[in-house]
Amino acid sequence: MSYTFIGGSVTAAKGFTASGIHCGIRKNKTKRDLALIFCEKKCTAAAVYTTNLVQSSPITITKKNLQDGYAQAVIVNSGNANTCNADGDVKAEQMCSLIAKELSISPEDVIVASTGVIGQVLPIEPIADAAGELAQLLSKDGATDAAEAILTTDTVKKEVAVEIMIQNKPVRIGGISKGSGMIHPNMATMLCFVTTDAAISSAMLQKAVRQAADVSFNMISIDGDTSTNDTLSVMASGLAGNDEITAEGEDYDLFVEGLTAVCRELARKMAKDGEGATKLLTCQVSGAKTEQDAKGVAKSVICSSLLKAAMFGADANWGRVLCAIGYSGCDVNVHKVDVSFASVKGCIDVCRSGAGIDFSEEEAKEILLEDEIEILITLHDGNASAEAYGCDLTYEYVKINGDYRT
């Protein structure tokens, strides 16, 4: 492991400041709803987005702004998704222009994002009125306020930072994210903003972002719904002083390792904070023929509503694991499959060679009552492995989403 987790967040890297305030988009005045991340110099930048055909106006504008591979600021609002609105693109562009004026930068160098209710017109007046204050409050200590301002149904802020050594230079990578519901694999993420002081070209940063997302955010499922606003963006200031990474090699691999560590940790935090969730579920698959098979099996298991419900009830119903493997569409010999459940209370084998074995239901329940559960699957077909993240399915999830809009 070449990275070290450090204290800090999206402002851990050199050159970055952040802020977060309540501007009035959300009715609850105690909740921040507008966030800003800024770098003192123009950064190389890259992003990946939702695969949903319905995409938010902020994604449309951010894609346009990042065509040159550079950015200097991120502005995000919560409480309104600015999606499926006739004036959505105009409002997203206005957000960029408003904050660019306060920061004395080009509107084309702003990444914009929104999260919240779909199909409701985004009021621009609260953002216009608050843009000056938002810019004035920028500081190295503002990351936590920014992390809070992007939340919707989340119950906790999600922040992380790591440090790696590249060319004997300390390089920092930090990020914040939000996401509790409407989260499903095969997209970028929910909303996640990462910063780094590494010097890396836009092309290699884009490659690194996709590589990290594929094994982290693309391996989460909370509820099977792929959101319309999902965005993962990364800005790199280059202030760490390393020679610019312009090709694959040892330096690139070190950077990807650090970026992946940040993304995986944020992915785990999001899965654990799934809407109504009481448990983080991690499905570890080993012994697959290919990485694609390993990923497919892990995703299928973590997406199973029946398994998620069983985990909520601390029921060691391993048959639901086998069932999910069986319909995954992956190349698996189900007669070789081993399954175990694990937590801090221990590990228990529940299935060998695709068949049930004797085990203590009492011991299994004690293991599954913990708030972090591992579902361990060995396929005995090859050497590939993968990991997916999810949560249990609870009564509270239905309650939250039954009246989410009203």
In the predicted structure, residue 223 carries a pLDDT above the cut 70: no
CA–CA dist 91, 77 (Å, integer): 12
Length of the chain: 406
- All residues at 6 or more sequence positions from 275 whose CB lies less than 8 Å from its CB, including other chains: 153, 180, 181, 222, 223, 396, 397, 400, 401
| Catalytically annotated residues | 189
Q: What is the CATH number of the domain that holds 331?
A: 3.10.20.340
Residues 299, 384, single domain; the answer is yes
Per-residue model confidence (pLDDT) at position 207: 98
Q: Are residues 294 and 375 in the same domain?
A: yes
User: How many domains is the chain built from?
Assistant: 2
Query: What is the average pLDDT across 69-95?
Result: 96
User: Is there a single domain that holds both residue 231 and residue 335?
Assistant: no
Same domain, 35 and 55: yes
pLDDT at 251: 98
Domain boundary (255, 272, 289) is at: 272
369 and 264, same structural domain? no
What pLDDT shows up at residue 188?
35
Residues 268 and 285 grouped into a single domain: no
d(C-alpha 364, C-alpha 351), whole Å: 13
Nearest to 235 by CA among 40, 33, 20: 40
Of the residues 223, 255, 272, which one is the last residue of a structural domain? 272
Last residue of a domain, one of 237, 256, 272: 272
pLDDT tens digits along 38-63: 999 999 999 998 877 778 899 999 99
pTM exceeds 0.85 for this model? no
Whether residue 260 is found in the same domain as residue 288: no
| Judgement on whether residues 137 and 37 belong to the same structural domain of the protein | yes
Q: What gap in Å lies between CA 224 and CA 246, rounded to an integer?
A: 37
What is the rounded average pLDDT of the residues 138-150? 97
State whether 207 and 69 are in the same domain: yes
> What is the layout of strands, in order, in the sheet containing 220-221?
220-221, 384-391, 280-288, 372-378, 338-343, 346-352, 355-356
Tell me what pLDDT residue 164 has: 98
Backbone angles phi, psi at 199, to 5 degrees: -95, 115
- Could you tell me if 156 and 285 lie in one domain? no
Residue 58 tokens, joined: 């902020």
The tens digit of pLDDT for each residue in 171-216 reads 999 999 987 544 454 433 479 999 999 999 999 999 999 999 999 9
SS3 labels along 95-131: HHHHHHHHHCCCHHHEEEEEEEECCCCCCCHHHHHHH
18 and 145, same domain (yes or no):
yes
CA angle in degrees (0–180, nearest 5) for 207-208-209: 95
CA 266 to CA 281: how far, in whole Å? 14
- State residue 28's pLDDT score: 86
Q: Can you give the residue range of the structural domain that contains 9?
A: 3-272
Residues 244 and 140 in one domain: yes
Domain harbouring 10, CATH code: 3.60.70.12
